[in-house]
Amino acid sequence: MPKKITKKIVKKTIKKQSVKKPIKKTIKKVSTKKQKGYFNLRGMKDILPRAGSTFLDVFHASESVAKFYGFSYVESPIMEQANLFIRSIGKGTDVVDKEMYVFEDKDKTKVCLRPEATASLVRMYINNGLQTVSQPVKMWYWGSMFRHDRPQKGRYRQFHQFGCESFGVDSPVVDAELIVVAYNVLKDLAINSIVKINSIGSLEDRENYLVELVGYFRSKRSYLSEESKKKINKNPLRILDSKHEQDKEVIAEAPQILDWLSESSKKSFIKVLEYLDEANIPYVLTPTLVRGLDYYTDTVFEFFEDEENLQEKKQNKEENNSKEEKTSIALGGGGRYNKLVSELGGLETPAAGFALGVERIVNIIEKTKARELRNEEESKDKINVVFLAQLGEQASKKALALVEKLRENNFELYHNLAKTSLKAQLEIANKIRVKHTLILGQKEVQDGTIIVRDMDSGIQEIIDQNKVINHLKKILK
């Protein structure tokens, strides 16, 4: 039987509705608040704690290898005159045509965020009289680069590069040494890499080759992808590294630059390969490798993760049914650029260099075996490390001073002043597998002592606070 609508029911309904109203309002408020938050710009990543420590590992490996091979650290500004890059990298390249962050400064200068650092280092070399000092001038750098590319895995709008540039010597051994440096940085980070290498000859070699290449592509125009068709007149070399399946057959039949090299370019390239053989660097001759920047002459190269690793990854991807990019991406690239210094106003000076993409390396270390190996290392007992646990306000005050004393004495120390229970702190100490924990409680503060606990046996010793440093030095020997 349906209820009879009485005054009472109507009143109740009204009451319910009036209670609901403010709730609706609150929900609205929350969602407006969310929209007002700040987010990082597309393609500009935060480097979070875990990746941050890997990022520093990459920095230290780069620093150590670069120093060993005699490169000096330099820094150039993040912002430069836009024309420096337009002139060096060249109109018609993706970087200049699509990806540069160009804007007008307050004084109307056309500036840009650097998309790479080679042009900056050439400018630095010319501006600071480095041509007049003893050659070669070998410099390494590390820093943020900016390219307004379509963000995806391994491709960001702000990213870091580690790079080395060597000025003043035109010898195949310089090219080989640069490749060895990059290879060894990756190797030190437990990344097996392989170098794809080619020679694009001198400017004259390339001019002759381009006539042939453009003729060939024009004759095959109808078979090419729309993107490649547009490049025939604008930047025909770039068709050679097109990723379009449709272009593959045409590219495979295309004339190869190696057949157009002058005798001297050919000789020098063979020497580079011989040096790499000597140094046991795995490489693949890749006649279609042309690089995306215009300033190169002769040797060009790119680094990739080695096939075995990739094979393993591809299998994993298939297992995971992942939609991640199937093709591998370059970990770094470089080459010789013998005309760039004079092009930018300096004396004719041979030069060569490379840059590695730091985020791509960090991603690999985080995700692959290299990372697992490092984790294994990390999970071993930390013998030379101590954990400091404290109980109560007095103890945490005292602990702060002790932390400083331990730091001064070069101890590696973990502590968590935010945790107050001994159990929680010992759990952390166990998790990070330290061998010894120092325990500072209320009683110890009063007595001027500290407990030293052996984490394996659980045996605890009470030590005078003034003697704890020496005691630790003895037991941690």
Which residues contribute to the site for ligand HAM (CB under 6 A)? 116, 118, 147, 149, 154-156, 159, 161, 163, 165, 292, 330-335, 353-355, 357, 359-360
Instruction: Indicate the pairing of strand 110-113 with strand 137-146.
Output: unpaired
Please identify the residue of the shown chain whose CB is closest to the bound ligand HAM: 357
Residue nearer to ligand HAM on the CB measure, 125 or 156: 156
Residue nearer to ligand HAM on the CB measure, 96 or 254: 96
Q: Is 333 helix (H, G, I), strand (E, B) or coil?
A: strand
Residue nearer to ligand HAM on the CB measure, 116 or 444: 116
Residue nearer to ligand HAM on the CB measure, 294 or 444: 294
Residue nearer to ligand HAM on the CB measure, 99 or 444: 99
| Contact criterion met (CB below 8 Å) for 96 and 85 | yes
Alpha carbons 354 and 139: distance in angstroms, whole number: 11
Query: Which is it for the CA torsion 309, 311, 314, 318, positive or negative?
Result: negative
CB of 340 to ligand HAM, least distance (A): 9
Residue nearer to ligand HAM on the CB measure, 354 or 411: 354
Residue nearer to ligand HAM on the CB measure, 304 or 387: 304
Alpha carbons 75 and 341: distance in angstroms, whole number: 18
Calculate the alpha carbon distances from 173 to 88, 118, 121, 169 in Å.
Answer: 24, 20, 21, 9
CB of 276 to ligand HAM, least distance (A): 17
Residue nearer to ligand HAM on the CB measure, 201 or 334: 334
Calculate the alpha carbon distances from 311 to 283, 305, 316, 318, 361 in Å.
Answer: 17, 10, 9, 11, 18
Instruction: Indicate the pairing of strand 79-81 with strand 110-113.
Output: antiparallel
Calculate the alpha carbon distances from 201 to 162, 211, 256 in Å.
Answer: 26, 14, 11
DSSP 466: G
CB of 88 to ligand HAM, least distance (A): 9
CB of 366 to ligand HAM, least distance (A): 15
CB of 224 to ligand HAM, least distance (A): 24
Q: At what angle do helices 203-219 and 226-234 cross, to 10 degrees?
A: 140
Q: Is 311 helix (H, G, I), strand (E, B) or coil?
A: helix
CB of 164 to ligand HAM, least distance (A): 8
Q: At what angle do helices 358-367 and 49-68 cross, to 10 degrees?
A: 120
Judge residue 468's burial from the number of C-beta atoms within 10 Å of its C-beta, 0-12 exposed, 13-18 middle, 19 or more buried.
buried
CB of 359 to ligand HAM, least distance (A): 5
| Contact criterion met (CB below 8 Å) for 180 and 194 | no
Residue nearer to ligand HAM on the CB measure, 54 or 390: 54
Starting at the edge strand found earlier in the chain, the sheet holding 382-390 runs 412-415, 382-390, 434-440, 449-454, 460-464
Alpha carbons 376 and 394: distance in angstroms, whole number: 38
CB of 289 to ligand HAM, least distance (A): 11
CB of 197 to ligand HAM, least distance (A): 13
CB of 291 to ligand HAM, least distance (A): 7
Residue nearer to ligand HAM on the CB measure, 97 or 149: 149
* Tokens 């729309």 found at: 226
